[in-house]
């Protein structure tokens, strides 16, 4: 397995405040990692640190052979980080199509391919961001990260607040993007079972430290460990 991402002894936070301490992990090309943990344990901070939106106090992050540590967010995007933040950050005053064409870079993922992945977006090509439902906005946020042609997709609670039918649709799309298209991803979720079912690997954060690392399948099969680490069995 070729390694894509390596995080070594990372500490990071906001200003002087340190949220993450001593976090180390590696992710192979094409693998999907479930990033789990209770509220406020540092999951978003880890994603934001990979994207370059926090202060890195120590340690090393490498993507392929590029050191990300001191790179500005736009350079990380150019190096292959595709970030879908919790707040989605789509351009609400632009149409769906403009959102995609404004950021698209040459590569496998064209706007047309993104529409094939999310047919709802194809139907809403001419609609403004403000006219989309929460689920459609989330699909657009994922599609926008895809057309940047990243090497690693970062999804921060992509299912949060969405209706069950949309959750199913998004999970199916994410599984196709990661499994069938082979794009590596890190997915943050509060509710572990759905994301463990589509992930290869799993890590759990607690108080800014990595307290568990296993295969997603193994963690899924141990409700007592999920209960202890996350306070949920299912």
Ligand X SMILES: Nc1ncnc2c1ncn2[C@@H]1O[C@H](COP(=O)(O)OP(=O)(O)OP(=O)(O)O)[C@@H](O)[C@H]1O
Q: Give the DSSP letter of residue 86.
A: T
Q: Give the DSSP letter of residue 131.
A: G
Smaller CB distance to ligand X: residue 86 or 127? 86
Report d(CA 155, CA 123) in Å as an integer.
24
Find the shortest distance in angstroms from Cβ 187 to ligand X.
Answer: 12
Question: Exposed, middle or buried: residue 127 (CB in 10 Å: 0-12, 13-18, 19+)?
Answer: middle
Q: How many residues does the chain have?
A: 234
Q: Does residue 4 bind ligand X (CB under 6 A)? A: no
Q: Does residue 49 bind ligand X (CB under 6 A)? A: no
Find the shortest distance in angstroms from Cβ 120 to ligand X.
Answer: 26
Find the shortest distance in angstroms from Cβ 219 to ligand X.
Answer: 17
Find the shortest distance in angstroms from Cβ 137 to ligand X.
Answer: 18
Report strand pairing: 184-188 vs 152-156: parallel
Q: Does residue 16 bind ligand X (CB under 6 A)? A: no
Task: Tell which one of 44, 49, 178, 199 touches ligand X (CB under 6 A).
Answer: 44
Smaller CB distance to ligand X: residue 99 or 138? 138
- Sort residue 90 into left (φ over 0), alpha (ψ -120 to 50) or beta: beta
Q: Does residue 45 bind ligand X (CB under 6 A)? A: yes
Q: Does residue 39 bind ligand X (CB under 6 A)? A: yes
Side-chain half-sphere CA neighbours of 3 within 13 A: 10
Task: Tell which one of 41, 49, 56, 138 touches ligand X (CB under 6 A).
Answer: 41
Smaller CB distance to ligand X: residue 36 or 132? 36
Q: Give the DSSP letter of residue 80.
A: T
Instruction: Please provide the distance, in angstroms rounded to a whole number, between the alpha carbons at the two ends of the chain.
Output: 30
Task: Tell which one of 33, 37, 84, 219 touches ligand X (CB under 6 A).
Answer: 37
Instruction: Give the DSSP H/E element, type plus range, for residue 204.
Output: strand 201-206
Q: Kindly determine how many residues on this chain lie close enough to bind ligand X according to the rule CB under 6 A.
A: 12
Report d(CA 202, CA 5) in Å as an integer.
14
Q: Does residue 210 bind ligand X (CB under 6 A)? A: no
**Site for ligand X, residues 183 to 202, rule: CB under 6 A:** 190
Question: Residues interacting with ligand X, by CB under 6 A?
Answer: 14, 17, 19, 37, 39-45, 190
């Amino acid at each position: 397995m070729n390694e894509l991402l390596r995080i070594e002894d990372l500490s990071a936070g906001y200003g002087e405040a340190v949220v993450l301490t001593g976090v180390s992990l590696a992710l192979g090309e094409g693998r999907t990692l479930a990033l789990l943990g209770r509220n406020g344990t540092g999951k978003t901070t880890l994603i934001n640190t990979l994207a370059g939106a926090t202060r890195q106090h120590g340690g090393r992050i490498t993507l392929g052979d590029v050191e990300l540590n001191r790179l500005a967010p736009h350079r990380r995007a150019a190096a292959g980080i595709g970030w879908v933040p919790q707040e989605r950050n789509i351009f609400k005053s632009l149409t769906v199509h403009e959102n995609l064409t404004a950021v698209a870079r040459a590569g496998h993922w064209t706007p047309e391919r993104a529409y094939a992945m999310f047919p709802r977006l194809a139907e809403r090509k001419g609609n403004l961001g403000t006219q989309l439902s929460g689920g459609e906005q989330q699909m657009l946020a994922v599609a926008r990260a895809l057309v940047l042609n990243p090497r690693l997709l970062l999804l921060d609670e992509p299912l949060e607040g969405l209706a069950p039918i949309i959750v199913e649709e998004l999970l199916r799309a994410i599984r196709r993007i990661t499994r069938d298209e082979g794009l590596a991803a890190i997915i943050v979720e509060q509710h572990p079972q759905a994301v463990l079912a589509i992930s290869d690997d799993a890590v759990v954060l607690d108080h800014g430290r990595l307290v568990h690392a296993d295969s997603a399948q193994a963690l899924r099969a141990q409700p007592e460990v999920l209960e202890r680490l996350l306070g949920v069995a299912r």
